[in-house]
Amino acid sequence: MTMTVLKEQSEVRRQTKQILKRYGRRRGNLIPILQEVQGKLGYLPQEAMLEIAEFLNMPAIDVYSVVTFYNQFRLNPPGRHSIRVCLGTACHMKGGYITLDAWKRRLGIDRGETTPDREFDLDTVACVGCCTMAPVTVVDDKPQAKVEPTKVDGILLSFEREREKRSKESQ
């Protein structure tokens, strides 16, 4: 394990313990604790779930079961950019799954995952209410209309240019 990973795990434990100080050791506090930890960290890493389980004196698998049961909880860190592919009826009929496959191929991840560089995370949504724009992809909370595979490439190219610009500015 690299030093960076060990530092990150240590920081997760520290921040989780800080949050736990505000709670009693009742199992009924599990969901509010999970919500607050995720609010702070952006997701629920294994180290945090283990700290919570120990604090509440419950098996770690019980914490994990709650986390995986509720859609509000994330097991992967969020990316700098959020990609949400709509799979509602209109988007499904207009090729939403083809769009999802294009994102998966281009990013090299599956839904619910984050790219290793934490630049992008990918997920699906049931409907964004923009049916006339189908298939829709929501990029950083902004709906993108008629997103077909070639448009996926264009969106990613704009992010690549933005990254290059940031890199030049920081030099």
pLDDT, tens digit, 9 for 90 and up, residues 40-64? 999 999 999 999 999 999 999 999 9
- Tell me the C-alpha distance between 100 and 113, whole Å: 13
Total length of the chain: 171
Q: Is residue 75 part of a domain?
A: no
Looking at the structure, tell me whether residues 56 and 95 fall in a common domain.
Answer: no
Q: Domain check: are 165 and 122 in the same one? A: yes
pLDDT of amino acid 167: 81
Q: Distance between CA 32 and CA 45 in Å, rounded?
A: 16
Domain total in the chain? 2
Same domain, 58 and 101: no
> Would 74 be classed as within a structural domain?
no
Give every CB contact of residue 60 below 8 A, 6+ residues apart in sequence.
Answer: 49, 50, 53
Q: What's the pTM?
A: 0.75
In a domain, 86, yes or no: yes
Running DSSP on this structure, what letter comes out for residue 56?
A: T
